[in-house]
Structure 1
């Protein structure tokens, strides 16, 4: 029963409810009558005012929200704050200690001694160290940037290049031009006869 109450996605909840049904049908009927959004005291379903159709699940025990802003930044998102205020709790209690003003003050409480700029450095008898000379490499310089490993993979999440796609002028199908068209007549291999 606890697995059904603490499930985070509908498929796991349905699977656990079927297990409960196998054990006790009366308990299944009682639990199925309760909407899943009311299970537990720390798991809530929140709707965003600007996007009425979107629903977000907030879990205060694990401190996460399905919008993922709370997990990524560590600071409660607007859905989490709405849930916290609904329970009459203080949202500041859910902010990690390293984001608080007191931690910032403790970090910089000691004196940070300034460093002199390069104009006030001591002069030495050694010559100044200069960067190495730039050597001109043979050949035409490359203008194309080096792609990262994730950019080399093509999948459905990446956008296609803008502009026009190749379209055959014979069959009007996108993807090839008239030279590669299967309907394009091939030139005969017979030698041409010269006029006399």
Structure 2
């Protein structure tokens, strides 16, 4: 979408559609985009909204994350291991996970609250916004919550649902739910079971609890023994086993090197199959060779004299 329809206006339209938590809000945002640009609206409408819009999230993942920042962070730290051999690359990943887990364990020891640091920060903002709302009890497990800008939603504690769907999607009670919890506490009603301390934080999904965070990191990466590297020698490595002196095939019975398998050649006629001792024309050939050498020397002397 950024390649075809770039700019802040298109970006705002996209985020309005993506961050809408209810289907009616999503449809209104898509309608506004259609009035602004029909081609851009058709491009987004062809993509199933369950892949990119909060309004169509089921809540099974207990998350409203729209970006892949978690994957990008991991990819950033593992980019140096891409061009390495597979064993070296896996060792790089293992060592990174070891350091990552140790850092998280250090953060766990520093935090003693009911919720994780991220959930604590988010819930503090929600509680601050909840103090500005008014609540009406229906006499059952349903409440009506009115906002400052005329908004009016229904909270059902029986099904743990709110009309804004934020509680259902994220697992964190929205400002409407927290406002109802404040109303319960003001009327001396039990906000949560007595064994849990009666705090609104216990209405969050277990994934945001410190207890769950500790259980997640009970399994650590173990160190591995790696033998020292052996520097390879120059040249092509030999495949055949080196034989000992006593098992060599080239040693004869008298201790001398055997010529078994070596092809004999006569130095007289350069014939194969026999040596000088077995050559029948050894003397004759030797004489002819010397005579030929002498004749050649005489001819060369006469030529030099003429010159």
Task: Tell me the TM-score normalized by structure 2.
Answer: 0.24
More helix by share: 2
- Of the two structures, which has the highest relative contact order with CA contacts closer than 8 Å and spacing of 6 or more? 2
Larger Rg computed on CA atoms = 2
